[in-house]
Structure 1
Amino acid sequence: MLLDKSIPLTFYVREIRREALFVFLFANLVVLIKLYFSLWTLTIPVAIPTLLGTCISLLLAFRTNQAYDRWWEARIVWGAIVNDSRSFIRQLQMFLGDETPDRQAVIQSFVMRQCAWCYVLGDSLREQGVNERLHQFLSPADAERIAQSDNKPNALLTEHGMAIRQLYDAKLLTDFQMNHLSTTLNSLTDSMGRCERIKRTIFPQTYTFNMRVFIYLFAAILPFCFEAAIYFLDVPLVTVIASAFILIEKSALQLQNPFNNKPTDTPVTTIARSIEITLKTITGFHSIPPPLPAEPYYAL
């Protein structure tokens, strides 16, 4: 997630350098042809790119809005994960009485499994390896068993459920308490499913293709709209205007995929560390990890 800090110009240039270079070279080619072959009469009325630019602006506004909705939904889902994680552990602290054998160890085992779930969910959404996370929070046997699952976050929630069932069978939880814990697990499952839906639902590629065709058509027409007297403005203006449209389109493309391990991502790892700190603090862990340091202008 981009932070409220100064974003280096290289971040923007890196995103559009190829497209901007292509537009720059094409504009130079048009100007050189018009200059050396005296084809300044080959001029297109400026009303045509103006109309096309207006249409592109409307389409980009719609595209950016839809992309931001996907990004914002992902952020809302991870906000719900924070709340449900806290609620889940707090419920266990309230429901498990002092007569529970090894009460502190039982609660802390749930904490470690919940922390593992948060990290593993985020890494899975980013298509990164999760075995190291599993071994960090779980016993070797549990980590190996979860690692063999196709859906590792779901397997961790299943482990939660089985552990709760064991407490219920041991008469350490009442029907009412088990129902509340199951409801919280269902909320976590719902959040996981929403994240997976965002990840797997592809934004229509035809829309992206059409948008780029319109932008490049606009960039191709614009060099023919300048008069001979101001030919020195042709190349820089065409490059800057076209690059602005391309940058907006690229920004929307990044926002619509909030789990791609890029600076514009939803900061799932940072959120998972925040959850870990909170849960370990309220359950008496001696070793509390520090918050993840942010990069110069973004957090992941």
Structure 2
Amino acid sequence: MARPIEIVQGNEPVPNQTIKRSIRRYESEQDWFKLLFRVRGSVIPAVMPRVLLCAAFALGILLLYSRGWPVASPILGSLVPSLVLGLLLVFRTNTSYERFWEGRKLWGSVVNLTRNLARQLWVAIETPQPGDYEAKMAAVRQLPAFAIAMKLHLRSELPNAELANLLTADQFAKLRQMNNPPLEIAFWIADYLQTQQTRGTLNTHQLTHCLETLDDLVDALGGCERILKTPMPVAYSIHLKQLLMLYCLALPFQMVDSVGWATPFLVGLISFAVFGIEEIGIEIENPFGHDPNDLPLDTICHTMQQNIEDLISLVPGAGRSQSARVEESPTKAGL
């Protein structure tokens, strides 16, 4: 058996694992610097107009001070205490992140419930009559359709080609007339399950378990709708913005006497920090949109669709048929 290649450094060999760790550390540092200067996905474009406004205001105060105007007023530092402002920003960001994380957990449950229900349908439901197999396949494909419809519903978008590829033309036309398309798809799935139980291809226990899983999917939809339709109170947002602007505009009066010509730069830097924290909270407050910091719902739905297509490629009962053949073989050999 070949031994791992070792590189000698000085008098001691360097194992492969050490080299790999060094490479990973170097790549991590490279990624750190890439993120440091990355604009896409950051809040720089959103906050830059406010930062420039505060810096320009600080420059104006600096010019007045340089001409002898008595604009220096350190007492303005108590106008908006830094501690109070910091606590408000932390509360704003934490509240938004809780909404973001709850949305991610709900979509994670949608992924797991979709996989479980699809597996139950594909394995448990028998297809004795012609056309039953195609009907079961269509029902299983309605599960990723539910997730896609849920994504579009949360984004206030109409059903599009993503859904048209998973549904019949009549179903797709019907969805475009509905106020809540994912609920309509959930109804179709429940109706299919009930029909199979009536026909005897799905027993009562299996039906109950499948319907409970479907109920959990609808509960996840309701949880996402709760996040979407319960925004941050307007009064809180207005008050925080007013305090932020007062704080940033008061900074030049406090700093111009001590830092001089560095005042516009420092005011701009501090403004970028506080406005950036507020903007992060605003971006992740609604995690279901198209912003770079929102949840990757397109990727999640695409993954679910791929999982379902992989499941459909499997043949239910293949293991049972093989076991039956193995049991029959000794009998035939004895005959």
TM-score (norm 1): 0.87
Q: CA deviation at 1:227?
A: 4.7
1:32 aligns with 2:60: no
Q: CA deviation at 1:151?
A: 0.8
Would you say the 8 A contact 2:72–2:257 is kept in 1?
Answer: no
1:244 aligns with 2:284: no
1:197 aligns with 2:226: yes
- Tell me which moved more, 227-236 or 262-271: 227-236
Aligned pairs (5 A) from 1:77-116: 77-97=106-126, 99=128, 101-116=130-145
Give the letter for the 2:143 counterpart: Q
1:281 aligns with 2:324: no
1:15 aligns with 2:46: yes
Give the letter for the 1:24 counterpart: A
Partner Cα distance (1:12, 1:190) in 2: 33
Higher radius of gyration, 1 or 2:
2
Q: CA deviation at 1:228?
A: 3.8
Do the aligned partners of residues 31 and 177 (structure 1) sit closer, same or farther apart at CA in structure 2, a change above 3 Å counting?
Answer: same
2:192 equivalent in structure 1? 163
Aligned pairs (5 A) from 1:216-227: 216-227=245-256
Please list every run of 5 or more consecutive structure 2 residues that lacks an aligned counterpart in the other structure. 1-30, 315-335
Partner Cα distance (2:310, 2:113) in 1: 16
Partner Cα distance (1:100, 1:35) in 2: 91
Q: CA deviation at 1:9?
A: 3.0
Partner Cα distance (1:230, 1:6) in 2: 31
Do the aligned partners of residues 105 and 32 (structure 1) sit closer, same or farther apart at CA in structure 2, a change above 3 Å counting?
Answer: same
1:290 equivalent in structure 2? none
Partner Cα distance (1:264, 1:227) in 2: 37
Do the aligned partners of residues 264 and 102 (structure 1) sit closer, same or farther apart at CA in structure 2, a change above 3 Å counting?
Answer: same
1:65 equivalent in structure 2? 94
Would you say the 8 A contact 1:120–1:153 is kept in 2?
Answer: yes
Q: 1:129 aligns with which of 158, 181, 190?
A: 158
Q: CA deviation at 1:214?
A: 1.0
Do the aligned partners of residues 103 and 284 (structure 1) sit closer, same or farther apart at CA in structure 2, a change above 3 Å counting?
Answer: farther
Aligned pairs (5 A) from 1:234-273: 234-273=263-302
Percent pairwise identity? 25
Q: Give CA-to-partner distance per residue, 1:104-148, whole Å, 9 cap, x none.
A: 423321222112111111122112231323322111111112221
Give the letter for the 1:17 counterpart: M
Do the aligned partners of residues 47 and 173 (structure 1) sit closer, same or farther apart at CA in structure 2, a change above 3 Å counting?
Answer: same
Would you say the 8 A contact 1:16–1:246 is kept in 2?
Answer: yes
1:187 equivalent in structure 2? 216
Partner Cα distance (1:70, 1:173) in 2: 39
Partner Cα distance (1:209, 1:177) in 2: 52
Would you say the 8 A contact 1:157–1:189 is kept in 2?
Answer: yes
Partner Cα distance (1:148, 1:109) in 2: 21
Q: CA deviation at 1:239?
A: 1.0
Partner Cα distance (2:149, 2:210) in 1: 21
Partner Cα distance (1:227, 1:151) in 2: 57
Do the aligned partners of residues 246 and 125 (structure 1) sit closer, same or farther apart at CA in structure 2, a change above 3 Å counting?
Answer: same
Would you say the 8 A contact 1:44–1:225 is kept in 2?
Answer: yes
Would you say the 8 A contact 1:27–1:223 is kept in 2?
Answer: yes
Partner Cα distance (1:167, 1:95) in 2: 10
Please list every run of 5 or more consecutive structure 1 residues that lacks an aligned counterpart in the other structure. 286-300
Would you say the 8 A contact 1:40–1:227 is kept in 2?
Answer: no
Do the aligned partners of residues 227 and 266 (structure 1) sit closer, same or farther apart at CA in structure 2, a change above 3 Å counting?
Answer: closer
1:56 aligns with 2:56: no
Number of aligned residues: 281
Q: CA deviation at 1:171?
A: 1.5
Q: CA deviation at 1:168?
A: 1.5
